[in-house]
Amino acid sequence: MNELIAASRQALEALEDLYAEQNAAPLWKRREHWENSMIKADAAMPALRTAIEAAEKQQALDKKAENARELGLSYDQNQE
């Protein structure tokens, strides 16, 4: 799970860097190719953020369940 979160964060960071770099360039330097890339990056960043948040939430729930088991408690993740 940690690897998935790390990879997702790295992908999001790369997209954000690309976005910032292209937005900093003067309009006359932009090409249609890059503008299309920016549209795709705009669509991908929210999805990556959502995936990261979901993975982190699941990781926290898994850890909570593991801690409960170690204490001999019954923990149902569906209660959250």
Specify if 42 maps to a domain: yes
Range of the domain at 13: 2-71
Specify if 19 maps to a domain: yes
Specify if 77 maps to a domain: no
Specify if 41 maps to a domain: yes
Smallest CA-to-CA distance from 46 within 19, 79, 78 is with 19
Token pair 């990556």 is found at: 48
Task: Choose the weakest-confidence range: 20-29, 41-50, 62-71.
Answer: 20-29
Structure tokens at 67: 């801690």
Predicted model pTM: 0.56
pLDDT for position 31: 66
Specify if 52 maps to a domain: yes
The total domain count for the chain is 1
Q: For the segment 32-56, what is each residue's pLDDT rounded down to a tens digit? A: 656 667 777 777 778 788 888 888 8
CA atoms lying within 13 Å on the CB side of residue 61 = 11
Specify if 13 maps to a domain: yes
Specify if 80 maps to a domain: no
Amino acid at 15: L
Specify if 76 maps to a domain: no
